[in-house]
Amino acid sequence: MELTARKKQILKVVTERYIDAAEPVGSKYIAQAMGGSVSSATIRNELADLTEMGYLEQPHTSAGRVPSPKGYRLYVNELMEQRQVSPDEAADIDAALGGKRKELDAVLAQAGQMVSSIVSYPAYAAAAGKSGLTVRRYDLLPVDALSFIAVVMTADSRVKSQLLRTDLPLPDGQLPNLANLLNTHFTGISTEEMGAKLMSLASQLKAELFMPLSQAIEFATGVLDRSAQHQFFTTGQTRLLSQPEFQDFGKANDLMALLTDRKENLPVPDENTSMQILIGPENVNEALKDASVVVASYDIGDNMRGLIGVVGPTRMDYAAVAARLSYFAESLTRMFGKNNELPPKEDHIS
Amino acid sequence: MELTARKKQILKVVTERYIDAAEPVGSKYIAQAMGGSVSSATIRNELADLTEMGYLEQPHTSAGRVPSPKGYRLYVNELMEQRQVSPDEAADIDAALGGKRKELDAVLAQAGQMVSSIVSYPAYAAAAGKSGLTVRRYDLLPVDALSFIAVVMTADSRVKSQLLRTDLPLPDGQLPNLANLLNTHFTGISTEEMGAKLMSLASQLKAELFMPLSQAIEFATGVLDRSAQHQFFTTGQTRLLSQPEFQDFGKANDLMALLTDRKENLPVPDENTSMQILIGPENVNEALKDASVVVASYDIGDNMRGLIGVVGPTRMDYAAVAARLSYFAESLTRMFGKNNELPPKEDHIS
DNA sequence: GTTTAGCACTCAAGGAAGTGGAGTGCTAAA
DNA sequence: TTTAGCACTCCACTTCCTTGAGTGCTAAAC
């Protein structure tokens, strides 16, 4: 059977109406929405076809039609009108993002919050670090006999520090030498290599030197691991509860659990796609089988990608959400671009 | 009317039964639970008295009795048996806390998670920094002509660092002097004083020195502000949804919103009390009027207090929750105590 | 005075039956 | 191919009834 232009138009009307009203759409309404050029009976025939073809579903015999995931997919791919954010919305987003520079984490958390409040669904945000991150430079600062500060700068120019304490007093004046050792042997290599090298040094160094060294390296590998791993921020989970489809319990509960306790399982867009829409059963995650996800990614610089996504009912307003999300992603890319206009050079100082 | 021993016993039976079964308790059950020494009719008389006195409530005329907030209060204050955590539970808690040292934030987040899973209600955790926190020491590390690393150590021995970038090239070799300046004039004073001092220096320094200085100070004040402010971690919000009393929507929704979006409004125990139980309307926060909170505080050292709390229905098992929470708080105090056995000395190095 | 048996009463919860209405599918005519 | 017409389906809602747990009250017993 062929998918005529009229069938598509009907599918569009059904989908948009259902998105709006959350109730099955009947033939009478469709006929009217299409300008009355055809009767409801004709529509019924078309509806029967569309149902047979799998684009529509019927909750029960005497109810109207509802888009199936396949129907939504067609709608999203072909029928949906690309929407632009209104100047008002754009201004809102710009204003909110216009604040002063913050830590990456803070930006992410806040971006999630804003998206959530703009689209009225729960949102999530994360940054995916490149996995091959290495340390560019170490500094060790003396504090007292039993403690010192380790400062680690990663290849992507982030700086972390921590106070470390040893059990054995540090030999006087040895800290610069240790830092030297770190900077010559423990930069630009993977955490595994760092571990191996450390082992090989174990026998060659005295304990009072080896211990602080291994502490510094432990700290550094911790930093690398933490930045390689995605950290997910979620907000607005509550907004799910006001959606009619999640009045039912099991679903809401599973989704909430996913959003609060198993965030890392939220979908990440494929490499190289800037926007992805996952409809119902297209989601791998069981808890999302009855929901949809719109997720966008953007460039943070330093070889990292940020991602920001929205979780809602399959019935969500894809056009509006997608438009806002992509505007958001663009703004973030721009913002991070500015922040990074000066890529620091390689430069070792011990 | 007097609150006889028997009345108290009845109140205790009602409360414990209701905590367990979540259903109004009838006279017949009570008579039986009390060993059959009196008949249900006698109990009914007593129940009528207790209801009149405000300790019990009746959902409707022909239902059993339910403790009122006043009843819970009496139960918690007088009737409830102090419970000890079982050796099994204690072992669980100890094992979970036994991991390696982590950042304070990570510990808090994890503690919240554990408490939540142990008591099966949502939990929250936070640390309250002392407000008068100051900087103990600054270090500035050169990176290249336009950027340097600022390392700030606070009076409570935490270390934070950030890469800072200036617009004007730094004069060669001036960084140690700047650090010196910071360490002599900008340690041990409040953020306000720091701001004032910075202003007064504005005219005396060349721009290429003043700019990095002010950036370093901005960073330092940011660090101080951030640690003074409580940051709340919440987990296990979902567990609320499985409680029969929160099947109803409005309540669940409000509470979820409080737990996810307005965490800072969660109750903080009064100074000097290590454990506090807030029952229903005793809570100031509107969203908590139908819920109860058990919150414990513990000593983190460095003049900071940690707090860890549980939010649940008024019908929650106070004895069990309180026992676990206080064991938890003790363990945390012990743990932080160990971490801090070596309070670093004042020691300036530039 | 306190306790108890007995009884009428109340009320929520749950099931059965009936009704209305929205929507369908099919047929036959245009 | 479209449309009017009609019988049919099925959910949602209401009404009515029944059941059972639990109460309050009274009058007798301790």
Show the tokens assigned to A245: 């489809």
Q: Name chain B contacts of A144, Cβ cutoff 8 Å.
A: 344-345, 347
Facing B144 at nearest CB: one of A151, A242, A347: A347
Residue that is written with structure tokens 């150590």 in the block: B153
User: Is the CB of residue B124 less than 8 Å from the CB of residue B306?
Assistant: no
Residue in the structure block whose two tokens are 């890529």: A343
Q: How many angstroms separate the first and last alpha carbons of chain B? A: 74
Among residues A257, A258, A275, the alpha carbon closest in space to that of A266 is found at A258
Give the type of residue at B175. Answer: L
Domain boundaries, chain A: 5-79, 87-129+230-339, 135-228
Helices B207-228 and B191-201 pack at an angle, to 10 degrees, of 170
Fold of the A5-79 domain: Arc Repressor Mutant, subunit A (1.10.10)
What does chain B come to in residues?
350
pLDDT score at B242: 83
Q: How many CA atoms lie within 13 A of A210 on its CB side?
A: 12
| Cβ neighbours, 10 Å, residue B265 | 15
The pLDDT, as a whole number, for residue A130 is 64
Q: Is the CB of A237 under 7 A from strand C?
A: no
Output Rg (C-alpha) for chain A, integer angstroms.
Answer: 27
Question: Which fold does the domain B135-228 belong to in CATH?
Answer: Enolase-like; domain 1 (3.30.390)
Contact between B231 and B127 (Cβ < 8 Å): yes
Q: Which of A10-14, A141-145, A161-165, B109-113 has the highest mean pLDDT?
A: A10-14
Kindly report whether the global pTM for this prediction surpasses the value 0.75: yes
B139 to A149: CB separation less than 8 angstroms, yes or no: yes
Q: What is the DSSP letter of B34?
A: T
Backbone φ and ψ for A284, nearest 5 degrees, come out as: -75, -40
- CA–C1' nearest nucleotide, residue A24: C23
- In this prediction, the residues of chain B whose per-residue pLDDT falls under 50 are 340-350
Model confidence pLDDT, tens digit, residues A254-268: 898 899 888 989 999
**Closest nt to residue B39, judged CA to C1':** C4
B interface residues, A as partner, C-beta within 8 Å: 139, 141-144, 146-147, 149, 151, 153, 157-163, 165, 235-238, 241-242, 247, 249, 252-253, 256-257, 260-261, 342, 344-345, 347, 349
Residue B344, pLDDT score: 38
Q: Rounded CA gap, B347 and B350, in Å?
A: 10
Position with higher pLDDT, A244 vs A198:
A198
Give the lowest-confidence range in A190-194, A226-230, A272-276, A322-326.
A226-230
Task: Please state whether B107 falls in left (phi above 0), alpha (psi between -120 and 50) or beta.
Answer: alpha
- Give the chain A residue whose CA is nearest to the CA of B257: A238
Which residues in range 12-41 of chain B are in contact with strand C, contact meaning CB within 7 A of any of its atoms?
37-39, 41
Q: Using the CA of A45, which nucleotide's C1' is the nearest one?
A: C25
DSSP assignment letter at A302: T
Contacts of A281 (CB under 8 A, 6+ apart): A69, A289
pLDDT of res. A131: 67
Which segments of B48-205 are extended strands (E)? Answer: 56-57, 66-67, 123-128, 135-144, 147-154, 159-165
Test the B interface: residue of A165, A260, A340 with most B CBs within 10 Å: A260
Yes or no, beta carbons of B238 and A257 under 8 Å apart: yes
Whether residue A196 is predicted with pLDDT greater than 50 in this model: the reply is yes
pLDDT at site A94:
83
SS3 track for A42-92:
HHHHHHHHHHHHCCEECCCCCCCEEECHHHHHHHHHHHCCCCCCCHHHHHH
| Alpha-carbon span B283 to B285, nearest angstrom | 5
Question: What is the model's pLDDT at position B99?
Answer: 63
pLDDT over threshold 50, residue A349: no
How many angstroms separate the CA of A61 from the C1' of C20?
17
Q: Which residue has the higher pLDDT, A348 or A308?
A: A308
Chain center to CA of A128 = 8
Interface residues of A toward B, Cβ cutoff 8 Å, are 139, 141-144, 146-147, 149, 151, 153, 157-163, 165, 235-238, 241-242, 247, 249, 252-253, 256-257, 260-261, 342, 344-345, 347, 349
CB-based contacts of A225: which residues, under 8 Å, 6+ apart?
Answer: A191
Are B194 and A192 in contact, with CB atoms under 8 Å apart?
A: no
**From residues 54-93 of A, which are strand C contacts by CB within 7 A?**
58, 61-65
User: 3-class secondary structure for A179-245?
Assistant: HHHHHHHCCCCCHHHHHHHHHHHHCCCCHHHHHHHHHHHHHHHHHHHHHHCCEEEEECCHHHHCCHH
Q: For residue A186, what are its two tokens? A: 């423990």
Within 10 A of A165 (CB to CB), how many other CB atoms are there? 17
Find out if CATH 3.30.450.40 is the number for domain B87-129+230-339: yes
Cβ within 7 Å of nucleic strand D, residues = A 37-39, 41-42, 45, 59-63; B 24-29, 40-41, 44, 47-48, 51, 58, 61-65
How confident is the prediction for chain A on average, in pLDDT?
88
CB A136 within 8 A of CB A154: yes
Cα distance between the two ends of chain A = 74
